[in-house]
Chain A
Amino acid sequence: MKNPFWDFRSVPAQRREIPLDRIVRAREETLDRIVQGYLQLVEEEVRDLVWLAEESKVERAYNAAVRSVGGLEYDADDIDEFCALLDSSSKIPYLISGPAGIYISALVNRAEDDRIVLCPKDYERSFHFLGYKLPEGKTLVLQGDVGDFTGAGLFGGCLLVEGSVGNWCGAGMMKGEIRVAGDAGQNTGEWMRGGEIHVDGTIQGVGTKFYGNTGYRVLFGGKIYQKGKLLVSRALVKGADQVSKGQP
Chain B
Amino acid sequence: MRKDRDALLREVWARVREDHLFPELPPPEWTDEGERVALEIKDKKISLSRPFVERMSEHMPEDEVVEGLLDHAISHHLSCPWDFRTHMKLYAEAKQTLKEPGLAQLATGYFMDVVADTYAMRRKESPLPRLYRYFERDEVDEAIHALYQRIWGVDLGIERHERIARRLSRIPYLDRRRWTASIRRFSKLLHALLVKEEEQEGANDENPMGNHDLQQYSAQEVESGLKDLARDAASPTEFKEIVEDFEEEILEATDPREEGMGLGSGRSFDADVLYYMKLAENYSLPVRTMPSRNSGALYPHHHLPWEIGKPYHDIDPWTSFGKIMPGITQTWKRREGELRGEEEETPDCLIMIDSSGSMPNPKRHLSYAVLGAACAAEAYLRRDARVAVYNFSDAHVGGRRSLPYTDRRVDIYRTLCHYFGGGTRLQIEDIEALQAGGAPDIFLITDMQITNLTALIELFNARENRVTAVHIGDNDSVRTFRRSMAPRKNVSVFAVEEKQSIPAIVLGKVKEYLYS
Contacts and interface: CB of A to CB of B under 8 A. Distances in A.
A47 interface: no
Contacts of A18: 118, 121-122, 151-153
A77 interface: yes
A10 B170 CA distance: 31
A12 to B, nearest CB: 8
Interface stretch (B16-24, B402-410, B451-459): B16-24
B479 interface: no
Nearest to B147: A20
B167 interface: yes
B340 interface: no
A77 B152 contact: no
Contacts of A71: none
A77 B19 CA distance: 36
A24 B19 CA distance: 25
B185 interface: yes
A7 B18 contact: yes
Contacts of A27: 170
Contacts of B175: 24
Given A7-B18, A8-B21, A10-B19, A20 B169 contact: yes
Given A10-B19, A23-B169, A28-B172, 5 more contacts: A10-B18, A18-B153, A23-B151, A24-B170, A119-B188
A8 B123 CA distance: 13
Q: Which of A15, A24, A122 has the most CB of B within 10 A?
A: A24
A18 B152 CA distance: 6
15 contacts: A7-B18, A19-B153, A19-B169, A20-B118, A20-B152, A20-B173, A24-B172, A24-B175, A28-B172, A77-B166, A77-B167, A81-B185, A88-B181, A89-B181, A119-B188
B174 interface: yes
B383 interface: no
Interface of A, helix, strand, loop or mixed by DSSP: helix
Nearest to B149: A19
Nearest to B15: A10
Interface string B111-129: 0000000100111110000
A113 to B, nearest CB: 11
Contacts of B125: 16
Contacts of A49: none
Interface of A: 7-8, 10-11, 15-21, 23-24, 27-28, 77, 80-81, 84, 88-89, 119, 122
A23 B174 CA distance: 12
Contact of B170 (A17, A23, A122): A23
Interface of B, helix, strand, loop or mixed by DSSP: helix
Interface string B147-164: 000111100000000000
B124 A16 contact: yes
Nearest to A10: B18
B42 to A, nearest CB: 28
Interface string B174-205: 11000001000100100000000000000000
Interface in B197-232: none
A28 B152 CA distance: 19
Contacts of B122: 15-18, 20-21
A142 to B, nearest CB: 16
B185 A7 contact: no
A19 B19 contact: no
Contact of B21 (A11, A16, A84, A89): A11
Contacts of A20: 118, 122, 150-152, 169, 173-174
B210 to A, nearest CB: 23
Contacts of B169: 19-20, 23
Q: Which of A15, A19, A88 has the most CB of B within 10 A?
A: A19
A125 to B, nearest CB: 16
Interface in B353-405: none
Nearest to B166: A77
A10 B125 CA distance: 12
Nearest to B188: A122
Q: Which of A23, A84, A89, A119 has the most CB of B within 10 A?
A: A23
Contacts of A80: 167
A21 to B, nearest CB: 8
A219 B210 CA distance: 63
A203 B171 CA distance: 40
A19 B166 contact: no
Contact of A19 (B22, B123, B151): B151
Nearest to B178: A24
B152 A19 contact: yes
Contacts of A88: 181
Nearest to B175: A24
A15 B175 CA distance: 15
B117 to A, nearest CB: 11
A77 B181 CA distance: 16
B322 to A, nearest CB: 79
A7 B233 CA distance: 42
Nearest to B22: A7
